[in-house]
Copies of this chain bind each other. A is one copy, B any other.
Amino acid sequence: MNLTHIEHIGIAVRSIDEARKYYEDVLGLKCYSVEEVADQKVKTAFFKIGQTKIELLESTDPEGPIGKFIEKKGEGIHHIAFAVDGIENALQSLEKDGIRLIDQAPRRGAEGLDIAFLHPKSTFGVLTELCEDKNK
């Protein structure tokens, strides 16, 4: 499997407006994009640091995945995403290795990437996303 870098770290927050003050004014990172992903019931805000993005995730619906995550665990790191070359082959390989896939095939995520999630029960507790940018 050809994982190249950490594409992003997803962090669940109650309010992007509040949390971005910390990431911008305190840590000095720059928010370059705010986007709503309707089918995930989230608003996202992106910051870049080196090769990696920080993706803040605010729920737009208490019944959405981020709403439920925050209700259960509070704010915090939600998932990590690896950039991969060849996401379809990677998913096939993972399935052969017995990894439980949340997405059997890639779907469209934030920033127009092809994405798929792996179940944390198979990945030692880490909700893991694969991402491929086919427009690059």
Contacts and interface: CB of A to CB of B under 8 A. Distances in A.
A80 interface: yes
A135 to B, nearest CB: 20
A114 B93 CA distance: 39
A97 B21 CA distance: 11
A50 B124 contact: no
Interface stretch (A1-9, A32-40, A102-110): A1-9
A6 B27 CA distance: 13
Contacts of A99: 26
Contacts of A75: 124-126
Contact of A126 (B5, B28, B76, B94): B76
A28 B52 contact: no
A3 B22 contact: no
Contacts of A80: 9, 77
Nearest to A70: B125
Contacts of A2: 28
A36 to B, nearest CB: 20
Contacts of A125: 11-13, 74-77
